[in-house]
Structure 1
Amino acid sequence: MIKKYLSLTFILIVVYACATVQSPTGGEKDEKAPILYESSPKDQSTNFKGNEIKLFFNEWMKLEQINKELIITPRADIEYEAALKKQELTIELKQPLEDSTTYTFNFRKALSDITEGNLWENPVLAFSTGPYLDSLKVEGTITKLMTQEPGKGYLVGLYDAKSDTANLREGKPVYFTTTDEKGNFRMQNLKAGKYLLYTFEDKNDNLINNPQAESYGFHSDTLTLFDSIPPIAISTYQRNEDTLKLKKFSPVGKDFIVQYNKGLSSYEIINPKNPDQHIYTNGVEASQYLKIYKENFPNLEYETDSVQLFITVKDSLSQSRTDTVFFKIRESRITNDKIKIENKPNGKTISGQQQFTYNLSKPIYTINYDSIQLRIDTIPIKTFNKEELHFNFNRKEVRLTTIIQETEINQLIDSLKLVSDSIQNYNDSIQNQNDSTDSNIERNSKNGMPNRDTGQLTRNDNKPTTENASVPRGNTTSGTSNYTLQLYTGRGAFIGIESDSTDQSTTSIQFKKAEDYGTIKGEIKNLESDYIVQLLTEKYELKDTVINSSKFQFNYVESGSYRLRLIEDKNGNQKWDAGNPLTLTPAENIYYLEEVITVKANWEVIDKNFDFSVDKTVNEGEENEDL
């Protein structure tokens, strides 16, 4: 009986092993792209009249997101059904194609092999419904302007220049494609004609650019395609050129909100009945909202009373508008967050003229000047007066200006050290006397002699000791005092419009030592317009700026890797101005030195020049970086 069970078990194991499909082990991974064996119509063929397209590959394939990946140009709302069976893809067209037209079917990442997911390389099928195949092409590279990164996944489109809606905001492209990982694009089998070229991030796949959320770029000239043209390089950036509009205004919570359709760069609010009144408003750069505080009009009755205000705003393109709004409030339990310091000085400076900047979360109503001090540790050496503090236009930023000489600070610290050392020496002397007295008492107590005052064998604690002596903070032992210069704002130094105040804040001030930093020097050659030279980190973060200095120099540069950028400031407004894609007005030119500059402490990097001679655009600097 046992033998029968064992035999049955063995048979089941064998059957199970034979029926189980296992992945093969060993062998090299398949990295070969699938190959298109044949197609109907054939690539680059003419006179196609059918309504069915077939592709046959050398291996089993898988199809993913074809409705998103397949681009058919010239653009047409062609409805189709796609079906994949093993190695064959069939696309059935629901309506006939236009006669005498060259079509391109770009499958992008829709097709890959079923085993390793290798994509079909060059996934384009082009054919004509007439006797002639269009053969023109446009290719190039898309780059993000401010970071020089490749514009990966950007839509690139050609628009019919004769159309009234031939732009990225209203019309849709006749031909389009998307960029690859390196920002490269190619559109081929194009019909001769005149086109406009735009590129943008099409995040919602609607072939329309939303400037508030999608960066863009454009070629500033009309492309006339009758023959081959050189590759086109386009830089992209994000800028909203929509006309500045007032959307709405109304009470929100206990305050009053004014909303626009795009971010603001500046604003001014005037009460015509009291033109000198400062209207306290919480608005920030690039914000679409202005919050006008109830406290501007403390006697205003809820719901019934209103105040007429004139509001003038500007956007980043210097478009401006003035609106009349009627400010009113309603009762609410909602309260705003407490005012706080959002950014304070970084604490590193050089001797001489100083400017310390504080940014606050809300506008400042008043300042307690006695609470803003320069200190050496806890010892005040200067308080700031009204003439040394300056507000920006909305009173959310305050700048402290003064002169601090390093030599004078060091002299004060030396004086404090002398006082501290004197106190320490005095305390040491007293301590030695106490130790001597304690020793005598101890000897006397051994001889049976009691303390004169109490009859107890105790230490005289009325004499000063090291523990209870008054020593300035920062003193440790004689000769090792460590004093620091501090910028101090006490609790309540800045008071907001809602009678709230900031907490205490302290910033340690350190003088930079030239030997701990590097210097970068260069020159601008053969450039007639104004310009701006910017020092950037390797990751394109702005560190410093020089304006219209033909021999520029960046001092006190921390050790690290840097880039240099030059903005051709053609209108002299000391900022970069974007172009306008609707009028094909180009943006102001930006140039980069290609090399990454290495800076070390106590090094001087020279000859980092921008040379705009006829025979070269930008000289990328000499190889020798140090002197």
Structure 2
Amino acid sequence: MIKKYISLLLILIVIYACATVQSPTGGEKDEKAPILYESNPKNQSTNFNGKEIKLFFNEWMKLEQINKELIITPREDIKYEATLKKQELIIELEEALNDSTTYTFNFRKALSDITEGNLWENPIIAFSTGDYLDSLKVEGTITNLFDQQPAKEFVVGLYNANSDTANLRQGKPVYFTTTDENGNYKMQNIKAGQYIVYTFADKNDNLINNSQSEPYGFYSDTLNLIDSIAPLSILTYKRNEDTLQLKKYSPVGKDFIVQYNKGLSNYKITNPNDTNQFIYTNNLEESKYLKIYKENFPELEYETDSLELLIEVNDSINNYRKDTVFFKTRESRITNENIKIENKPKGKILSGEQEFIFQLNKPVYNINYDSIQLRLDTIPIKLFTKEELKFNFNKKEVKLNTIISEKVVNQLIDSLKNVSDSINNIKDSVNNMTDTLAINNDSSKIKKKGKPSLMDQKDDRQTNNRTGLDTENENVSRGNSNQSTNAYTLQIYTGKGAFIGIESDSTEVSTTSLQFKKAEDYGIIKGNVKNIKSDFIIELISEKYELKDTLINNKDFQFNYVEPGKYRLRLIEDKNANGKWDAGNPLTLSPAENIYYLEEVITVKANWEVIDKTFDFNVDNDVNESEEDDDL
């Protein structure tokens, strides 16, 4: 009986083990991609008229996020149900597909094997519901303009050029795909026609570009697709092209806030009753908010009084608007942050003309000019005048333009050292005289005969001990004094209350140490620009594409005092001669100004020159090519 039960138990275990689906264990890791054995309809087939699509693979599969991953083009509102049964995927269409149309089903990352998650390679099937299969394709690479990195997972779409909403902000593409890790894309089985090509990051998966947060790019011509074309590469960038709008205005705390839908590059506020009045305003939250201080209008009563103000603003793409608001405040215990220096001037300078920039968190109402000094340690050597300090448009930035000569500073340091040495010599003479007097005084206490008394011994010991310690301490003190005069720190000093805000608050003490650059600590980059017909801007950028220096229209250019490191060079073709790069217009297909990069990374060493870096716009030359580094 017991044997019978044991046999039955063993049978059940075997049956359970056979029925349980498990990933195989042991052996080599499966790295092979699953293979599509067969499909209905077959890939590249014609005359399909069914409502069920079947895919059969060589191994058990896993289906993930098919509603997100599956791209069906031409894009239509195709509704379906997807069911995976072991090795077979079945897609049931709610309605029949359009007649005489070539469809492409791109499954992207939806299907992988169940064991190791290997993705199905080339996960696309294409078929036609008529007797002709469209065979045109568009492929290429999408790259971020300002760091040259591949644009990953960007939508690339073909829009019907004959549609009124054929753009990335309103309409949706007829054909589309997404880029891979290397920014590459491919759309196949496209119908001949005229298309507009857009690409953009689609963070919310709605196939509509939001320029405020999603970078974009476009091909600056209508694509007349009748035959195969060369790969199409597009550069992307982010630029907020939303229409500038006033969202709201109201009292906040004791002050008044005006809010816009995007950041401002410039603004002007006018009091019609006194057009010469400067109205102290703070731009906050990436310049989307303007805070107008109550202290501008001390005569206005809280809650009851109001004042009409005219506000003119511009955004970064020169959109302009003018609005009238009614300034009104209310009493509040909420206090604002005190005024402070947020960004101090740079500390490394060249001898000669200087421009020091102080950036503050609030507008400056007044300056105590005698509290802004050039110092050697704590010794003021120059006070700055009102003419040397200038405000920007909103008084949150103060520029100090002056002259500091390294030769004059060194002469002052030498003079201070001479004075210090003289003082130390006088100290030494006084100390020597003190030591001599102390020795003579001790000698007078020694008796000619016999031993000194106990009292004399005590006094003698006290005197010797005192003199020895004082001498030691004085030697240490003199040594420290001499050491401190070997070097003086040159600095820009702003004392407490140097900058005063409209709320009667003031800045704390701040210092910026200055150091003259030594040519032997830096490198030089030289080059030239050939055969260019427009104005241009040359930018020195770091290996990670951070802007370091700029030159305008210098055909024989030279970047001096370049810190040792790795750099790149780029050239902006400034066709409208406005001294900056201008983006294109994706709605009118007006192209952006071209930017060219030298492909090489330039290594700069201390006391070295890098020469012959050339941008050549001759039609026979590749502008990105340059000669090998020549280091002298």
What's the TM-score bracket when you normalise by the shorter of the two chains? over 0.9
Decide whether aligned partners of structure 1 residues 373 and 475 sit closer, same or farther in structure 2, where only a CA change above 3 A counts: farther
Distance 1:328 1:223 in 2: 55
Partner of 2:505: 500
How far did 1:491 drift?
Answer: 1.2
| Amino acid in structure 1 at the alignment position of 2:231 | P
Q: Which amino acid aligns with 2:420?
A: S
Q: SS at the partner of 2:185?
A: strand
Aligned 1:295-306 pairs, distance under 5 A? 295-306=295-306
Matches within 5 A, 1:129-278: 129-278=129-278
Aligned to 1:3: none
Verify the 8 A CA contact 1:427 1:466 in the aligned structure 2: no
Matches within 5 A, 1:107-122: 107-122=107-122
SS of alignment partner, residue 609 of structure 1 = strand
Matched, 1:484 2:489: yes
Which residue matches 2:41?
41
Deviation of 1:399 (Å)? 0.7
Q: 1:480 offset after TM fit, Å?
A: 6.1
Q: CA deviation at 1:429?
A: 3.0
C-alpha RMSD of the superposition? 2.8
Cα drift, residue 616 of structure 1: 2.1
SS at match of 2:631: coil
In the alignment, what sits opposite 1:424? 424
* 1:80 equivalenced with 2:80 (yes/no): yes
- Asked if 1:528 corresponds to 2:530, the answer is no
**Judging changes above 3 Å, is the alpha-carbon distance between structure 1 residues 304 and 530 closer, same or farther for their aligned structure 2 residues?**
same
Contact 1:264 1:285 in 2 (8 A): no
Matched letter for residue 63 of structure 1:
L
**Counterpart check, 1:556 vs 2:551:** no
What is the CA–CA distance in structure 2 between the aligned matches of 1:23 and 1:215, rounded to whole Å?
42
Aligned-pair CA distance for 1:619: 5.0
CA gap 1:19/1:39 in 2 versus in 1, 3 angstroms:
closer
Partner of 2:3 in structure 1? none
Indicate the residue corresponding to 1:518 in structure 2.
Answer: 523
Number of equivalences: 612
Q: Is the 8 A contact 1:475 1:482 kept in 2?
A: no
Q: How far apart are the structure 2 equivalents of 1:416 and 1:284?
A: 46
What does residue range 580-595 of structure 1 map to in structure 2 within 5 Å? 580-595=585-600
1:608–1:620 Cα contact (<8 Å) kept: no
- Write the deviation string for residues 353-398 of structure 1: whole angstroms up to 9, x where unpaired: 0011110001011111111100000100011110000110000000
Q: Is the alpha carbon distance of 1:333 and 1:120 closer, same or farther for their aligned partners in structure 2, counting shifts above 3 Å? A: same
Q: Secondary structure at the match of 2:512?
A: strand
Among 613, 620, 623, the residue aligned to 1:618: 623
Q: Deviations over 1:28-58 (max 9, x none)?
A: 2111111000011110111111111111111
Correspondences of 1:386-425 after superposition (within 5 Å): 386-425=386-425
Q: Which runs of 5+ in 2 are unaligned?
A: 1-5
Relative distance call for 1:478 and 1:582 in structure 2 (3 A) is closer
Compared with structure 1, are the counterparts of its residues 123 and 96 closer, same or farther at alpha carbon in structure 2 (3 Å cutoff)? Answer: same
Residue deviations 1:267-308, cap 9 Å, x none? 111111111111111126952221111111111111221111
Question: Are 1:425 and 1:478, in contact at CA under 8 Å, matched by a contact in 2?
Answer: no
1:441–1:457 CA contact under 8 A, matched in 2:
no
Query: Could you say what secondary structure the match of 2:233 adopts?
Result: strand
What's the counterpart of residue 546 of structure 2?
541
TM-score by length of 1: 0.92
How many angstroms does 1:539 deviate by? 0.3
Partner in structure 2 of residue 281 of structure 1: 281
User: Who is 2:372 aligned against?
Assistant: 372
- Give 1 or 2: higher helix fraction: 2
> In structure 2, the residue corresponding to 1:425 is in which secondary structure?
helix
Structure-2 separation of matches of 1:524 and 1:380 = 46
What's the offset of the Cα at 1:342? 0.8
Q: Residue in 2 aligned with 1:570? A: 575
CA distance in 1, matches of 2:471, 2:386: 44
Matched, 1:321 2:326: no
Distance in 2 separating the partners of 1:455 and 1:138: 105
8 Å CA contact 2:295, 2:502 repeated in 1: yes
Paired position in structure 1 for 2:64 = 64
Alpha-carbon distance in 2 for matches of 1:144, 1:455: 86
Question: Which residue identity is paired with 1:482?
Answer: A
Q: What's the counterpart of residue 4 of structure 1?
A: none
Residue by residue over 1:515-540, the C-alpha shift from the partner in whole angstroms, topping out at 9 and shown as x without a partner, is 10000111111111111110000000
Shift of the alpha carbon at 1:24?
Answer: 6.3
Gaps of 5+ in 1: 1-7
Task: Quote how far apart the aligned CAs of 1:617 are.
Answer: 4.1
Whole-angstrom distance in 1 between the partners of 2:141 and 2:276: 54
Q: 1:129 to 1:445 in 2, by over 3 A?
A: farther
Q: Is the 8 A contact 1:475 1:481 kept in 2?
A: no
C-alpha separation between the residues in 1 aligned to 2:539 and 2:434?
66
- What secondary structure, in the 3-state scheme, does the structure 1 residue paired with 2:482 have? coil
Match of 1:381 in 2: 381
- The residue type paired with residue 141 of structure 1 is T
Contact 2:420 2:485 survives alignment (8 Å): no
Q: Indicate conservation of the 8 Å contact 2:24/2:115, yes or no.
A: no
Stretch of structure 1 that moved more, 313-322 or 178-187: 313-322
